[in-house]
Amino acid sequence: MNRNYKKLAALMLCSGLLLTACGGNANNSKGGSENAAASAGANGGTQAKTKISWLNVLHTASPPTDTVLNKIEEFTNADIEFSWIPDASKEERINTSLASDSLADIVTLTILDNSSVRNALKSGMFWEVSPYLDEFPNLAAISQDTRTSASIEGKLYGVPFQKSKARNGVIIRKDWLDKLGLAVPKTTAELKEVAKAFTEKDPDGNGKKDTTGFMDRSDLVYGAFKTLGSYFGTPNNWAVDDAGVMTPEFATEGYIQTMDYMKALYDGGYINQDFAVTAKNDQQQNFAQGKAGIYVGALFDSKNLLNLAKGIQDGMELVMVNDITSTGKPEDRAIWSSSNGIGGLLSFPKSEVKDETELKRLLKFVNDLMSDEVYALMTYGIEGVHYTADANLAVTIKDTDLWQQEVQPFAASRPNETGYKIHDADPLKVEAERLIQENAEYGVLNPAFSLESETNTAQGSELQKIITDATYKYILGKMGLDEFKGEIDQWKKSGGSKIISEYEAAYKAVNP
């Protein structure tokens, strides 16, 4: 932060005119409007803008224009200077910046499993922010689970990017359910019966046996397998007991039950027989073309699936389900959490941020980025320019090209993505967002997410191939249970046992 601006720490929030431009939901601001009056000068004047540099990741082809940036700067009373790093080269660029100490007041770190990033965080290069978060209303609202998941060796070296904690579920052709007189399934057994009916009872009415139940892809994480695993009580990557003993998910009964379920789908023909080699794009295209009626994945994929079906399956209706269990008991409801809802950190290097006064100014800035007003700006743009909103704050984009140029590049920079009242007008997307927020209550976290294992860093991907290959072979009937367990033993002998012991030691160090 520019030292000439140190004394100008008071924040000038936006005027009533700007609040209107920010989307018309000033009454919903999380601390924003309350601070507007406090940020005015004692004699009715305004404070000068504070200069803030931000080393950030760009997920679009080009950086945004200044149109929305100017409004964000007005609201936060900041003069923001972005240094954009293309997403495709972020690992190399971030590693170089860390090594050369060529950083900024705020640094976006999204690759927390990168050894250079973790070593830099542990070295004391960045401020530990835990003692300060509760001084700011939006930062104070960050849950302890989120803070723990984003910590390194028990210390939080930045403000976590808060993503949807658990976004997956089951998307089903409702028009096919209705045609066959079937109810929306609530158990895995009922889901299998739907898959069987979609395969055998001609749901599209063309007189041919050319449909199947599930349309899946070659991905045991983001495809059907891990979500179905949640329904059978499989832990999220790792389970840990009260004594701190760690068990990998593939060594649990829930994992075996999930493999058995997938094998039954495969053997019965209720899933595309080439799922083990199907790419995501082909999976979605096949579903949109009416070749299957069940899709397991991110609930917000429903809108894309419906759009892909236009002109091909115009009668397609979809229903999203997020409360399936294997037992039929509501108390057994669970869904795995992707990255524990953590998208990285907004970190503050001590080389640039010299003292607590500067740190708190930056934390105040991030706090204000999490207001409803700035969320609206970074998500939809300026009301009347980029979008219109009805009385319920449902948004319709006016000009998609303009929005993509001036607004979309900011989306990945939002410190928090959930819990805001302004929303997309599309009813399917609204329902998906509702179910995703509901999922958070049942999300199963990975207890090893923030922990460190040198062996896992060095060999984890290679060792995981042993389990992935064995899982596919079991489902496809090329391997029995004893052979699968033999592959687990091979995983342990090849380094897996060291991963377990290292994770257990790391867990006990932060949970004495």
CATH number at residue 181: 3.40.190.10
Domain for residue 458, yes or no? yes
Q: Of 395, 419, 443, at which residue does a domain stop?
A: 419
Kindly state whether residues 284 and 369 are assigned to the same domain.
Answer: no
pTM: 0.87
- C-alpha 40/C-alpha 346 separation (Å) is 27
Residue 429 lies in a domain: no
The pLDDT of residue 101 is 87
Please check whether residues 8 and 143 belong to one and the same domain.
yes
Instruction: Verify that 286 and 402 share a domain, yes or no.
Output: no
> How many whole angstroms separate alpha carbon 226 and alpha carbon 437?
19
Same domain, 409 and 466: no
Are 367 and 493 contained in the same domain? Answer: no
Is 212 in the same domain as 278?
yes
Q: Is residue 436 part of a domain?
A: no
- Count of residues making up the chain: 512
| Number of compact structural domains in the chain | 3
CA–CA dist 355, 357 (Å, integer):
5
Q: Is 424 inside a domain boundary?
A: no
User: For residues 444 and 448, what is the distance between their CA atoms, to the nearest angstrom?
Assistant: 12
Is 439 among the domain residues? no
Residue 466's pLDDT is what?
98
Q: Are both 210 and 324 inside the same structural domain?
A: yes
Report helix, strand or coil for 58: strand
pLDDT value of position 512: 87
Q: Are residues 117 and 244 in the same domain?
A: no
Residues in the chain where the model's pLDDT stays below 50: 1-45
Residue-level pLDDT at 46: 58
Query: Is residue 445 in some structural domain?
Result: no
Q: What is the CA radius of gyration of the chain?
A: 25
Q: Are 348 and 391 contained in the same domain?
A: yes
CB 258 within 8 A of CB 234: yes
Which of 282, 312, 336 terminates a domain? The answer is: 336
Query: DSSP string of 356-406?
Result: HHHHHHHHHHHHHHTSHHHHHHHHT-SBTTTEEE-TT-EEEES-HHHHHHH
Which structural domain, as residue segments, surrounds residue 470?
454-510
Q: Which tokens sit at 341?
A: 């809802």
Is the same domain home to 286 and 364? no
Cα(255)–Cα(242) distance, rounded to whole angstroms? 21
Same domain membership, residue 348 and residue 469: no
118 and 261, same domain (yes or no) = no
Identify the DSSP state of 47.
Answer: P
Residue 440 lies in a domain: no
Q: Select from 288, 313, 336 the last residue of a domain.
A: 336
**Is there a domain that residue 123 lies in?**
yes
